[in-house]
């Protein structure tokens, strides 16, 4: 079906007659993203409606300008509609008023329709018809007071086919468009009885300047008549100022209105009305399409969702999300390193606690062993086996050198053996280890008073 439709459109382009000469477009007053040529995309745009106006200055003395307003409606990824209203002056001089005067053409109302017929990855093919014109005219042209009526110029429309592609380079996004069309897209070399087909092409480069509000865009195109260049400068996400030069190759003839195609300075303002994204899209995982456009999944009818600003899913926002993801990744790596360091510290502390526990356990074991040997020494002491008692005390001191009782016991053994000096020395050591050892203190005081009897010591 798509292939058949494509063949029919191409056939219409080839056989369509070209009946109107002269320029019937005003810069930045046509539907699409460019200055004068149509555009297409493989994805649906973030705005369901665009409204704007354009002014094209063709002379300053006398002041001559053309004005136009447009409505660009994109209800889905397949269809696009446009309505334009233009008021232009004709390039021919009014011979009745003099060579310097010009004749203003009556207002024109145009309707345009476009349909995407094929998409593949970042490429799209579309066909459409533009400039279905309605204009004001007198019911009786010979009567100056005749009533004004709205008449159609059905032979004045143009068919076209266009191929568009989209590419991204870091923070930049490039779209290019190329197509063929009849009438307004063909050079004015045809007569009313001939058929003319023209080629048009253009590029749209979104830069990294002002990324927060959509980015500055640079436009260049050949519209079948001449070269146009321009720029779109965003004021906010919803308002854009348009500036351009029409027929730049003829700019040296600016102000010469007698030419069939005349240069001009174009300016305008666009107002974007963002579409409501369905909840199904807003809740999907992060996997954002490029170029500020949203691909509606199959089966979604477009139920009202949250209102998103114009420029939603722009390359800058995608890059910002990527930077946030990269930053979050770095944070995760830092936190992982910190967690690893804390785990190492925990391991060190656990080792330290284990060492303390081991030392405490060893100390408890040593105390138990020391007390066991002290108990043996006490039995030897009572049985007057002082040398064996001394050996047991020495073994107890080896197990626990800070045990005051062992030094006290050894002092008593030396006293029994008649070595008073060594006995006093051991008792002093025991008192140093345990200052509250009152029995040792009393013994030392009694020795100082020569009241100590040769007797056994027992705590």
User: What is 347-448's CATH topology?
Assistant: 1.25.40
Q: One fold for both 2-93+100-313 and 347-448?
A: no
Residue 439 neighbours by CB distance under 10 Å = 14
Higher pLDDT, 302 or 215: 215
Provide the strand spans (E) within 140-275: 148-153, 158-169, 172-182, 197-206, 217-222, 227-234, 239-246, 264-274
Across 292-302, average pLDDT: 44
pLDDT tens-digit map of 412-440: 888 888 888 888 888 888 888 888 888 88
* CB burial string 81-120: b at 16+ within 10 A, e below: bbebbbebbebeeeeeeeeeebeebeebebbbebebbbbe
Q: How far is CA 428 from CA 364, 374, 434, 445, in A?
A: 25, 19, 10, 11
pTM given for the model: 0.53
Domain residue spans in the chain? 2-93+100-313, 347-448
- Greatest mean pLDDT range, 16-20, 21-25, 136-140, 224-228: 224-228
Question: In which band, very low, low, confident or very high, does the pLDDT at 278 lie, cut at 50, 70 and 90?
Answer: low
The verdict on domain 2-93+100-313 having CATH code 2.40.110.10 is no
Task: Say how many residues make up the chain.
Answer: 459
Q: Are 99 and 93 within 8 A, CB to CB?
A: yes
Place of tokens 């025991």: 430
Report the pLDDT value the prediction gives residue 229, as an integer from 0 to 100: 95
Higher pLDDT, 169 or 217: 217
- Number of helices (H) and strands (E), helices first, in the chain? 7, 17
pLDDT tens-digit map of 37-88: 999 988 887 788 899 999 998 888 777 888 899 999 988 888 999 999 888 7
Report the C-alpha gap between 116 and 127 in whole angstroms: 7
- Residue 293 reports pLDDT greater than 50: no
pLDDT tens-digit map of 154-165: 656 788 999 999
- Residue 400 reports pLDDT greater than 50: yes
DSSP 8-state symbol, 298: T
- Residue 328 reports pLDDT greater than 80: yes
Report the pLDDT value the prediction gives residue 344, as an integer from 0 to 100: 92
Q: Tell me what the pLDDT averaged over the chain comes to.
A: 76
Across 362-387, average pLDDT: 81
DSSP 8-state symbol, 346: H
pLDDT tens-digit map of 203-259: 999 998 888 788 899 999 998 888 999 999 999 888 999 999 998 988 888 877 555
Report the pLDDT value the prediction gives residue 24, as an integer from 0 to 100: 56
């Amino acid at each position: 079906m798509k292939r058949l439709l494509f063949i029919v459109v191409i056939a219409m382009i080839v056989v369509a007659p070209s009946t109107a000469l002269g320029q019937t477009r005003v810069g930045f007053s046509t539907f699409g993203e460019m200055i004068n040529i149509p555009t297409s995309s493989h994805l649906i745009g973030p705005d369901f409606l665009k409204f704007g106006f354009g002014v094209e200055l063709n002379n300053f003395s006398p002041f001559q300008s053309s004005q136009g307003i447009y409505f660009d409606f994109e209800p889905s990824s397949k269809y696009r509609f446009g309505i334009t209203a233009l008021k232009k002056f004709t390039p021919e001089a009014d011979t009745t008023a003099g060579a310097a005067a010009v004749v203003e053409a009556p207002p024109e109302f145009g309707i345009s329709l476009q349909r995407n017929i094929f998409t593949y990855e970042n490429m799209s093919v579309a066909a459409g018809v533009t400039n279905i014109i309605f204009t004001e005219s007198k019911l009786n042209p010979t009567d100056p007071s005749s009533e004004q009526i709205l008449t159609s110029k059905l032979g004045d429309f143009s068919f076209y086919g266009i191929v568009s592609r989209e590419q991204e380079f870091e923070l930049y996004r490039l779209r290019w468009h190329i197509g063929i069309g009849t009438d307004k897209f063909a050079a004015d070399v045809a007569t009313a009885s001939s058929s003319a087909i023209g080629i048009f092409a253009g590029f749209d480069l979104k830069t990294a300047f002002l990324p927060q509000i959509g980015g500055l865009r640079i436009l260049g195109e050949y519209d079948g008549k001449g070269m146009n260049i321009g720029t779109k400068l965003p004021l906010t996400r919803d308002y854009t100022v348009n500036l351009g030069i029409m027929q730049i190759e003829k700019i040296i003839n600016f102000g010469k209105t007698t030419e069939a195609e005349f240069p001009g300075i174009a300016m305008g303002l666009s107002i974007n009305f963002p579409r409501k994204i369905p909840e199904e899209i807003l809740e999907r995982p992060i996997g954002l399409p490029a170029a500020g456009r949203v691909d509606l999944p199959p089966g979604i009818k477009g139920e009202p969702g949250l209102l998103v600003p114009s420029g939603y899913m722009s390359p800058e926002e995608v890059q910002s999300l990527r930077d946030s993801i990269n930053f979050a990744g770095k944070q995760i790596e830092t936190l992982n390193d910190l967690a690893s360091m804390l785990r190492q510290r925990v391991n060190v502390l656990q080792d330290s606690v284990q060492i303390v526990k081991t030392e405490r356990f060893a100390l408890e074991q040593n105390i138990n062993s020391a007390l066991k040997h002290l108990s043996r020494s006490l039995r030897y002491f009572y049985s007057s086996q002082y040398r064996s008692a001394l050996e047991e005390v020495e073994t107890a001191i080896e197990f626990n050198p800070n045990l005051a009782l062992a030094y006290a016991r050894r002092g008593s053994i030396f006293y029994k053996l008649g070595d008073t000096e060594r006995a006093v020395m051991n008792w002093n050591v025991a008192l140093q280890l345990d200052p509250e050892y009152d029995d040792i203190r009393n013994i030392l005081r009694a020795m100082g008073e020569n009241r100590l009897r040769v007797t056994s010591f027992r705590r």
